[in-house]
């Protein structure tokens, strides 16, 4: 993908594409002009000797320390070096790519006072697939993602390490790969690189994109489970959803109706005397619809944040002002991530309940534990236990991170967002849900096939075919771990999004 940063909003579809694959980034003429104008104002401030936070002062509680003009470049370099204290596993390259792209977007708005050559150098790292090695832990989400962004900034000045074609190399070697020299930072540039919410936002964006994948897979699995237990599609009737009015519920019910349309299994029991299905079948529009509404809200928040200017102080060239504020505080991202955590947990919870229904012969009408010769074979007995364990783990992970503020910087930064952790923990939750939904897809496929020669709907038969390509029918006991992993691979690839992409925010924009 080629992306020119100019005046337009960089939307969810472009952000998702940049997450999934390398991107070529360039600056448009208007962006170049804005950058130059804001940089000129910073140069004028320095020349006039005016005191401006982070330009010619110390940082945090040391903001009252004035720095001599001949030490201003040293000040910025020291900031980068001292703040590069991250720990833990490295962020994946796809996350780092999003981080760098959003930093370019923010700097290109022209409110940061940096030089054009700095922004162009960051573009060259992206364009040559050079990814700074950024530890995942060490940020409290205010004043922005200081520690992780310092590791990104360090590579630009030749400090630290980066990944080039999957190999970790010293920063100077990585810069040569990108065809650029180490940058000598000018006034405010270190601060502009370190202040910002780009790491929190990148982690949250990747999480919401992955949540779309598992939500789409859960809809396919839920429709298959409904067919496997001979559930009714009446609860998905458009009229029922319309009188309640929630957009997510209406959309999910529409997808479920389309998924089940033309099922021979459903046609075989339309006139039966069965009255109502368990909630895990009947209330899918209400539960997954509410989760979809959460995803849509979170996408809106994150799209705004991805295009936001979140460093400090901000440079307003038109009004000749440099203003200190708090746009680096990542509370919007933290709250959105915590909200998304609830939806992720609920998608997994409902899926696990359907697995429990499928294996219970008394409720499902299917062979106990979805296997012939039960007793000799245990079938899906332990697969449901695994799903239950993962669903229970997510209950703890869903506890909000944003309420756990802790003061830093000698109490100067006395309230922080914890957005980075709030977003990072979502990925473990999504891993759990992907495994739960994979187990349901396997179980529902097995359940539907017990109805042969009657078939499910044309769409669901395609879903079944994709499952059977990676997992053969379960005839007698075997380890299912590899089967689950292969189906998780299909979920992570977004295979099931094809059946519901019209309702997914980053697909339908």
Average pLDDT over residues 461-472: 98
Q: Whole-angstrom Cα distance, residue 476 to residue 302?
A: 47
443, two tokens: 């179980």
> How far, in Å, are 20, 227, 237 from residue 400 at the CA level?
28, 36, 35
Rounded CA-CA distance 268/323 in Å is 70
Cβ contacts of 372 within 8 Å, gap of 6 or more? 475
CA distance 238 to 257: 9
Residue 369 in this model has a pLDDT that exceeds 80: yes
What is residue 352's predicted lDDT score, i.e. its pLDDT?
A: 98
Q: What does the pLDDT average to over 491-506?
A: 96
Residue 485, pLDDT above cutoff 90: yes
- 53 catalytically annotated: yes
Q: What is the pLDDT of residue 391?
A: 98
175, 181 contact by CB (below 8 A): yes
Smallest CA-to-CA distance from 189 within 289, 98, 121 is with 121
Supply the pLDDT for residue 374: 92
Structure token digits, residue 347: 């998608």
pLDDT at 275 over 90: no
Per the structure block, which two tokens stand in for 167? Answer: 């190999």
Residue 274 — very low, low, confident or very high, per pLDDT cuts 50/70/90?
confident
Residue 371, pLDDT score:
96
CA distances (Å), 323 to each of 53, 59, 305, 313, in order?
Answer: 9, 15, 20, 5
Q: 126 with 23: CB under 8 angstroms?
A: yes
Specify the pLDDT at position 229. Answer: 97
Instruction: Tell me how far apart the alpha carbons of residues 496 and 258 are, in angstroms, rounded to a whole number.
Output: 14
For residue 509, what pLDDT is reported?
Answer: 53
DSSP string, 67-105: --GGGHHHHHHHHHHHH---EEEEPPHHHHHHHHHHHHH
Rounded to the nearest integer, the mean pLDDT of the chain is: 95
- The pLDDT > 90 percentage for the chain reads 89
pLDDT(131) > 70: yes
Per-residue pLDDT reduced to its tens digit, 179-201: 999 999 999 999 999 999 999 99
Report the range of poorest mean pLDDT among 128-137, 185-194, 282-291, 405-414. Answer: 405-414
pLDDT score for 53? 86
Report pLDDT digits (tens) over 102-120. 999 999 999 999 999 999 9
What's the pLDDT tens digit per position in 33-81?
999 999 999 999 999 988 888 888 888 777 788 988 888 899 999 999 9
Residue pLDDT, tens place only, 82-105: 999 999 999 999 999 999 999 999
Helix (H, G, I), strand (E, B) or coil at 170: strand
227, pLDDT greater than 70: yes
- The whole-angstrom separation of Cα 247 and Cα 265 is 29
pLDDT digits (tens, 9 = 90+) for 7-27: 889 999 999 999 999 999 999
Determine contact, residues 363/451, Cβ cutoff 8 Å: no
pLDDT in tens, 321-354: 999 999 999 999 999 999 999 999 999 999 999 9
pLDDT for the residue 62: 78
> What percent of the chain has a predicted confidence (pLDDT) above 70?
100
Residues 2 and 301: their CA atoms lie apart, in Å, by 24
53, 131, 474, 499: which is the annotated catalytic residue?
53
């Amino acid at each position: 993908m080629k992306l020119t940063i100019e005046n337009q909003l960089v939307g969810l579809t472009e952000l998702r594409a940049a997450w999934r694959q390398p991107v070529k980034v360039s600056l448009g003429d208007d962006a170049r002009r804005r950058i130059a104008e804001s940089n000129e104002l910073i140069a004028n401030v320095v020349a006039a000797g005016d005191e401006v936070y982070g330009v010619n002062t110390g940082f945090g509680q040391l903001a009252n320390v004035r720095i001599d003009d001949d030490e201003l470049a040293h000040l910025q370099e020291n900031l980068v070096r001292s703040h590069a204290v991250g720990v833990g596993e490295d962020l994946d390259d796809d996350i780092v790519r999003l981080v760098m792209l959003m930093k370019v977007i923010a700097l290109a708005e022209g409110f940061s006072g940096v030089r054009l050559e700095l922004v162009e150098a960051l573009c060259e790292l992206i364009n040559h697939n050079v990814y700074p090695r950024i530890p995942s832990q060490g940020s409290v989400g205010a004043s922005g993602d200081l520690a992780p962004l310092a590791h990104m900034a360090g590579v630009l000045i030749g400090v630290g390490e980066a990944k080039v074609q999957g190999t970790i190399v010293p920063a100077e070697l990585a810069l040569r790969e990108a065809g650029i020299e180490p940058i000598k930072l000018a006034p405010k540039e270190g601060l502009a690189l370190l202040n910002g919410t780009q790491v929190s936002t990148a982690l949250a964006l990747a999480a919401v994109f992955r949540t779309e994948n598992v939500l789409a897979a859960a809809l396919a699995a839920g429709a298959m489970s409904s067919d496997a237990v001979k559930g009714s599609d009446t609860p998905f009737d458009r009229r029922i959803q319309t009188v309640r009015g929630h957009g997510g519920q209406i959309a999910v019910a529409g997808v479920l109706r389309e998924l089940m349309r033309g099922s021979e299994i459903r046609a075989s029991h339309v006139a039966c005397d069965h009255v109502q299905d368990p909630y895990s079948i009947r209330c899918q529009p209400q539960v997954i619809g509410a989760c979809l509404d959460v995803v849509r809200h979170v996408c809106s928040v994150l799209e705004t944040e991805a295009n936001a200017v979140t460093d400090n102080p901000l440079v307003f060239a038109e009004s000749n002002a440099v203003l200190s504020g708090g746009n680096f505080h990542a509370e919007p991202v933290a709250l959105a991530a915590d909200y998304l955590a609830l939806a992720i947990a609920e998608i997994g919870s409902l899926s696990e309940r359907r697995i429990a229904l499928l294996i219970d012969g008394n409720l499902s009408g299917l062979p106990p534990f979805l296997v012939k010769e039960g007793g000799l074979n245990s079938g899906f007995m332990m697969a449901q236990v695994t799903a239950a364990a993962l669903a229970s783990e997510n209950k703890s992970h869903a506890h909000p991170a944003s309420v756990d503020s802790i003061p830093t910087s000698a109490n100067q930064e006395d309230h922080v967002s914890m957005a980075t952790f709030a977003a990072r923990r979502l990925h473990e939750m999504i891993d759990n849900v992907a495994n739960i939904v994979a187990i349901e897809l396997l179980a529902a496929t097995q359940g539907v096939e017990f109805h042969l020669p009657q078939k499910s709907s044309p769409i669901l038969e395609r879903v079944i075919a994709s499952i059977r390509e990676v997992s053969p029918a379960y005839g007698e006991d075997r380890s299912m771990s590899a089967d689950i992993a292969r189906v998780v691979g299909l979920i992570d690839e977004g295979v099931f999004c094809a059946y519901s992409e019209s309702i997914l925010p980053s697909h339908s924009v």
